Structure 1
Amino acid sequence: MQAFPVIVSVQSEEEESLLHETVKEENREDRDGAEAENSSDTDDSADWTPSAESLTPQSHTEHEPAHGNKVSEDAGPDKLHKCPQCGKGLSTRSHLKRHVRSHTGEKPFECPDCSKKFAHRSALKTHMRTHTGENLFSCSVCGKSFSQNGNLKTHMRTHTGEKPCRCPVCGKSFSQNGNLKSHMRTHTGETPFMCSVCGNSFSHSGALTTHMTTHTAEKPFSCPVCAMTFSHSGALKSHTRIHTGEKPCSCPVCGNSFSRNGYLKIHMRTHTGEKPCRCTVCGKGFSRNVDLQRHMRTHTGEKPCKCSVCEKSFSRNCHLKTHMRTHTGEKPCRCSVCGKCFTRNCYLKTHMRTHTDDLAVQ
């Protein structure tokens, strides 16, 4: 009796069919990638947002299955293919395969120049423009060009003023999703950018870059008037207002003007009653952080303000100034009735009662 070899497959018919479809899909992605060149609204971007794509697949071979099995394309828009991980429905099996990479993290397409890997071929082609310098998408207003259509769309908002990215907490709007993400950290308190020197962390990378100059002592921005130097341009711009007297930040309630927007924000709390700086010991709130720091000394007993004559210490600088008058003999608080002078305003107020009592008797 003639023996026939028996081949045992460890894959189900459905798995084998999906494997064949996967091989065929790699060839189809060339066509999908070409469409992505001219539009950001491709199937890839509609199903999930890739970080990039690759020209050299590492885990698939680009040829038809040897057995020539025909696999249904299932391309009908009315036939949904559901993701087993998140339940999202896709119109074709090829779209489902690309979507699944968002869960598996698979990035089979590698850049030949920098070896960066991508989940989709079209994203790799877009990435390659960073090496070639090719900018296909040009702004019709200012002429600036971009390598990706999505970047052009975002840029156009600088001309239209459109701010579609809205904060769900406070309602503030932004033109870019990245700016919204940074803003959200003001609500969550997240500070993912950490200084490698001192360990301080910040909510956005720009603040960390500015902070790093405190370690390097680098101050490349110099004032043309007094030659004072600064670590970043924003500090220089604020400083120059000392020379010009410019106060562009105006309070909409009382009309007071300030040289810096930060000063205006703090001032606005006098109108709103907001006290965001809260003591962790007793819960008392303050409108300014400097007031909270002074208050904390009542709990810690810290007295950093020391008299240079008798070495007596005080928790606040204003108390030290008043104390110094006992050494200098200065009495700036003068009675408007009799001309008598006092070292402290509270002493003057007590003295003034002698005049009001005299007037009452008369």
Structure 2
Amino acid sequence: ESYLKFDSINQMYGCQSCGKKYKSSAGARLHYRIKHCGLFDHYCSMCGKGFQQKSHLKSHMSLHIQQKDFECNICGSKYAHKTSLTAHQKLAHGSDAHALPFSCSICGQGYFSTCAMRLHKQTHLVGRQHICEICGFKFLHKHHLKRHEKNIHK
């Protein structure tokens, strides 16, 4: 794999992007997918947050299952904590509602970073045909995959 370099003297796999070393190729691949591609194997169906391990996703899902006693009087969304409701109301309904600098071109959901938005967009691409063989990133169009391969992996 072009993004990994094996050091036969030290028996370590190095990341070509940052030089970080790992004892196994799996560890180096995982590092590359998370740090340099921003990809995850498991996504929360409720909020789009990504996780590398299924156990971490299951733990995260418990946050969504908690008793939600705090309801937004504007849209009816429910939250387990008053602080979460307050943050929701400020972002979704307050003067800062449209102040998030990055938004999903598919559904309009806003994010504070391009990384978070990019991870969210992956949830819209379930079952898409154009998948990068190096890092697993999914694309709706083949030319987007080709551009990704050229810019990220070469």
Scaled by the length of structure 2, the TM-score of the pair is 0.34
> Larger relative CO (CA 8 A, sep 6+): 1 or 2?
2
Scaled by the length of structure 1, the TM-score of the pair is 0.16
Task: Name whichever structure is richer in strand by fraction.
Answer: 2
